Amino acid sequence: MAFNLTRFIYPIESNIELSKALKLELDNPRTADEISFIESVIRKSLQFKNPAINEMEKQLFLRSALGIDELRKYLEINDKDSYANRFIENSKTETTIQFIAKSWIILRFQDNNLFNEYRQDSFKLLDKLYKDDDDDYILNFNTSQHYSYILSLLINNEEKYRGFSFLLFNTPTEIFYPTDRYKIYRTIENFKDNNFLLQHDNRATYWTYWIDIKEIIVEFANKLELIIQQTDKLKPTKRKNVPLSKQVSAQEKLLYIGSILKTVDHETKNLKLKLLLLTSIIEYLVTRNPDTSRFNVEDSISKQFKLKSAILIYQNIPNEELNSIKESLDKIYIQRSDVAHGNYNTDTDTAMCLDSVFNLYKYIKAMIMVYLDDKEFVDYLKDN
């Protein structure tokens, strides 16, 4: 199986199935070859020509070694018989980078053995991408990306979510040619920092630290899987008499939303475009074409957007006042229209757009949570 690196570093005893339907699982590298490859990715990512930054790398591993010892102390007190504690004990003779490589949590996906082929000759992969000739590795890589963005949206615990995924590399080639040298560096720093904070009573939990998220990620993966498997069997046909909500399966719908989330995070830095794309996810979930045979203001896209969205958001965030949700949705839709039609007025300045982007992530998360719990209700809202 092919794999991608996640933002999690932690020894896990066995693989964790995220999706049977999509054949996705979390794991540690298990073979000497996999461990060696991940170690080479780490080293390649941290190769800097700047001597000052090279010194930072040395300091990183020194601090990480101390952080691993803090993790060991925590486990000795709180989970002495755990696999992770035994793993640390058995790794005392290894270097810090070897420990990190063996403990890096990876996402495995099906690839028809192409990953190993591209490891030997990555120019073949570049040629495939240049010719737009998608194969099992490229297709399943993209599926895993789209899935990861949906799951990350659901499991993150940030007050102002910034839209990134728990997967480290965003393109099929990046694991062979790491382009953002700080991704690896920041992931190791995050692991180290959280290890140091483990025994603090008032420590804040964070969703990219495995100890904090390990149960939550499985819980939401199971929720996603239930709806993906349930509706995957329907395979609806696209016909005029089929309701709009039934013309695609839930799996197709969720992965499509995941693809937009990836585009927003990875493929554009333009804040107004981010707002436009995120707004399109809400429109995709709840709106339909109005009845053009008669004028009906109640049937307009904007009316549907604000009313239906507010109903779903309030179901998942009941502590937020309906009037506050309505005002926020009103502002978002005005901004969306201004961006779409080129009317750049004061409502589309940077600060207001950024505030709306944060709210959009929060609202989309709330709406998808309702969709997972009651798909039929969300579909009914869309169609009526």
Domain identity same for 277 and 198: no
Q: Are residues 84 and 130 in the same domain?
A: yes
Q: What sign has the CA pseudo-torsion 166, 170, 176, 182?
A: negative
Residue 344 and residue 350: Cα distance in Å, rounded? 11
> In this structure, are 92 and 46 located in the same domain?
yes
Query: Does 241 map to a domain?
Result: yes
Return the closest-CA partner of residue 170 out of 146, 206, 187, 154: 146
Q: Are residues 204 and 347 in the same domain?
A: no
Are 328 and 264 within one domain?
yes
Compute the distance between CA of residue 116 and CA of residue 223 in angstroms, rounded to an integer. 32
**8 A C-beta contact, residue 141 and residue 109:** yes
Structure tokens at 281: 């996810």
* Distance between CA atoms of residues 140 and 159, nearest Å: 31
Shared domain for 195 and 246, answered yes or no, is: no
DSSP state of 167: B
Buried b (16+ CB within 10 A) or exposed e, 328-347: bbeebbbbbbbbeeeeeeeb
User: Of the residues 216, 245, 278, which one is the last residue of a structural domain?
Assistant: 216
Assigned domain for 157 exists = no
Q: Which DSSP category does 94 fall into?
A: S
Q: For the beta carbon of residue 13, count every other beta carbon within 10 angstroms.
A: 11
Print the domain residue range for 263: 233-383
Q: Is residue 141 part of a domain?
A: no
Distance of alpha carbon 274 from alpha carbon 235, whole angstroms: 31
Q: Evaluate whether residue 221 is within a structural domain.
A: no
Residue 289: inside a domain, yes or no?
yes
Q: Are 26 and 109 in contact (CB under 8 A)?
A: no
The Cβ-side half-sphere exposure at 330, using a 13 Å CA radius, reads 6
Residue 152 placed within a domain: no
125 and 252 fall within a common domain: no
Same domain, 357 and 251: yes
Please indicate, yes or no, if residue 47 is contained in any of the structural domains: yes
Residue 149 falls inside a structural domain: no
How many domains does the chain divide into? 2
Contacts of 342 (CB under 8 A, 6+ apart): none
Q: Are residues 43 and 86 in the same domain?
A: yes
With tokens 């694991």, the residue in question is 175
User: Based on the domain organization, do 211 and 267 belong to the same domain?
Assistant: no
In this prediction, the residues of the chain whose per-residue pLDDT falls under 70 are: 48-56, 231-241, 291-299, 344-348
Q: Let me know whether 245 and 197 are in one domain.
A: no
35 and 183, same domain (yes or no):
yes
Say which residues have a Cβ less than 8 Å from residue 200's Cβ, sequence separation at least 6. Answer: none
The C-alpha atoms of residue 138 and residue 145 are separated, in whole angstroms, by 11
